Structure 1
Amino acid sequence: MTDHLSRQPFITLLKNIIANQSNNKNGFSVAIDGDWGSGKTWILDALESQLPNDEYLIFHYNAWENDFYEEPLVALLSVMLESLRQIKKVKEICSRANVVSSSILALSKIVGVITEKKLGVNLSDTFDAIKNTNAALHDAALTDEDFNTLLPLSNALKQVRKVLSELNSDFKIFLVVDELDRCLPEYAIKVLERLHHVCNKMQVFQIISIDKFNLADSICKVFGKNFLKTTPEHNIMQFVDSYLQKFIDISIPLSNGKPDKSLEVMNGLEKEFCEWTRDNSAGAPIDFNENFLEEFLAEMFSGI
């Protein structure tokens, strides 16, 4: 991955926080707070590629891509199952195959109870029988009422936490949550609450990408808050910060980045420009060289 916007120092900061907090018995959560299009997903992908596979068990949960699941816990379980099935194929973890296999079976049973009741299909007995769990759940369109009736939420959460605890004996668990601020308001809040229920006081490191300004609107809509007034007690961000403290330990702002080599983004196109001098409308000369191009690009991309 080419780092056009000099993100490595930010990634290194995240890696240092992860190293310092990965043994925290109560877990730890970090939010990357940046505007839409500022590169949060790129940073998460680069970060994951730099973490040692033999040490970290990484679950990457894209909340927006999985928001067709009406119950976020089912979506999270689906992502966890897929990740576990993938790492089971890696030879390096063969010594840990038992804990991975048992975790797959345990999680698939939780999901299997739901899909069996909803679709009349038994998916909980074997690993092979749950290969198409994602597609089955997509078609099921489960509601909260279905989920709580078929498998009480409190019981499901206990089972998931038990599985995470067992996995934690062999791996450092790293949970990535991306695109949360793109979800519908009610769903975004529900995702945060499910993450809290699953990971609270568990040895799980969470990193959540958000655009706090846009997420603030979702939070206020869900809780019926109206911040048309300008008095301090009606400050929207004060309310949002107070709410997010339940889920996030620290929030790190992300800038739009700055290229180390300004012309690198042109992929060599700048070489096609001629170095020549001409007059502008005011009659002053313009030296149309590399420095001019760099300044021009900086102005053109300012704020993007």
Structure 2
Amino acid sequence: MKLAINHHVTRINENSSYIFGREEFALNLKNIFTNTDGGFVLAIDASWGEGKTSFIHQLIYDLKSSSNLIPIYYDAFSNDFSSDTFLSIGATISYEVENYLEKKGFDKKNKLQIENLKNVTKKTALELVKLGTNLAVRSLTAGIVDSSELEKFAGNAFNSATFDTLELDLNKKFEAYENSKTSIQSYVKALESVCSENEKVVFFIDELDRCRPNFAVEVLEKIKHLFLAKNVIFVICYNKSQLSKIISSVYGVDTEDSLKYLEKFIHIEAKLPTIDSKSQESSYKLLFNSFVDEFKIQLPSDEYLRDMFISLCSDKHLKMNSREIERAFSYVSFCFASLPQNEGLELFRFFLPAAMIKVKNRNLFESVKSGSFNSLTRDNSLKWVFDFFERYFADYLVQKASNVYYVKAFEEACAIVSIFKLPADVE
């Protein structure tokens, strides 16, 4: 049984159904990618937990059916172990374009173009390393670069350099600068030549606001080298306010200046559409089914549990976003695994609301974890709680006083949920 839900898991609906009703936005983007001549950078801004990653993966899945679009997903958080951002990006592009051409049917010309792209990627990365200050160049991907070549250069440079400054003499710096410009131009031409039938690379950069601050800034700095490529479209998905804070911390500037800095790299920005109320119920149903499938467990009364889950997620109750739901299921997975399976199945219906309430509203969780509910509470934030439990747990309610009811199994579930704490929990 799976113990925790990994938010990087790709949940794709093969019927092209977008969670929270973003089909029209996806179609708008697809039309822009198809109809626009030349490369550009689009930013999609959304707050934490609004479903950026789910939307991107669904869009990529749909774009793969296009005849002339090559969608590529790049997780900046997963790649920030690399010391060379250009190499990381260039290697990803080369690898995915090669896969695309192989599926179409490789010919001799394609093979030569791909080899040329790999060689130019290697050369460009090497020239940019010469201009940079980071000598840790061991993290190489996709088999494009022989690590020994860069490591040999880095080692020689380190022997004659002040730590973290790479003090090359002026002539060598000038030579490296000129070589890097030429290499970048060669890289752009090589990338354009690979797409000889007007294909376009749509390069999605995700999790930029979660990776190492320096790496996030370096990714922005490196992709500007590829702006001139007429067949490359960059789509940066971020939480703009969070990324601006990262830029502020790296460069020591205020928020206004960090936003101006960010504008240098973005040609146009779009907000991820908010949750469509008409599609809420169907979207929550899809999320429930996908998480339960990941657990690989057979639940009794799926329809009853799903209805309860949807009700709790709704605006009138907890108003949960997709990331919060994911965290709730992570709690449930640990609670479920901590008990013998038969006991876990019995308590699942109580683990789920307990975990959801804990994730969304810690104060509410503290007030209900005893399993007692007041039908006449004066607290507006608690008025719906008794009605909810009366609807879904009527058979378990025990009256303790004229207006006080108790659910023993819910108290037991809350006690187990309280044992665990996820890393991002805020007290």
Q: TM-score, normalised by structure 2?
A: 0.51
Establish whether residue 282 from structure 1 lines up as the match of residue 376 from structure 2: yes
Alignment partner, residue 126 of structure 1: none
- In structure 2, the residue matched to 1:167 is 194
Task: State the match for 1:209 in structure 2.
Answer: 237
Q: Paired residue for 1:157?
A: 184
- Matched with 1:177 is 205
In structure 2, C-alpha distance between the alignment counterparts of 1:141 and 1:36, rounded to whole Å: 42
Percent identity over the alignment is 22
Match of 2:25 in 1: 13
Q: Which protein has the larger Cα radius of gyration, Structure 1 or Structure 2?
A: 2
Question: 1:68 and 1:59 mapped to 2: Cα distance?
Answer: 19
Native 8 Å contact 2:209 2:216 kept in 1: yes
Residue 100 to residue 9, structure 1, CA distance change in 2 (3 Å): farther
Counterpart of 2:225, as a letter, is H
In 1, the alpha carbon distance for the partners of 2:35 and 2:274 equals: 31
Aligned to 1:40: 52
Unaligned runs of 5+ in 1: 119-129, 228-235, 293-304
1:158 is paired with a residue whose SS is: helix
Contact 2:42 2:266 in 1 (8 A): yes
Quote the offset at 1:167 in angstroms.
3.1
Q: Cα gap change, 1:11/1:28 in structure 2, threshold over 3 Å: closer, same or farther?
A: farther
Structure 1 residues 242, 131: CA separation in 2 closer, same or farther (over 3 Å shift)? closer
Map 1:60-209 onto structure 2 (within 5 A): 60-90=73-103, 93-94=104-105, 97-98=107-108, 100-113=110-123, 132-133=143-144, 136=147, 152-170=179-197, 171-200=199-228, 202-209=230-237
Aligned residues: 261
3-state DSSP of counterpart to 1:58: strand
TM-score (norm. length: structure 1): 0.69
Higher relative CO (Cα under 8 Å, sequence separation at least 6) belongs to 1
**Contact 2:114 2:194 survives alignment (8 Å):** no
Alpha-carbon distance in 2 for matches of 1:136, 1:11: 43
State the Cα RMSD in Å. Answer: 4.1
User: 1:23, CA displacement in angstroms?
Assistant: 4.3
Using the alignment, how far apart are the partners of 1:207 and 1:141 within structure 2?
35
| Shift in CA distance, 141/242, structure 1 to aligned 2, threshold 3 Å | farther
Gaps of 5+ in 2: 1-11, 130-140, 155-164, 290-300, 309-348, 350-372, 378-382, 395-427
Distance 1:162 1:11, change over 3 A: farther
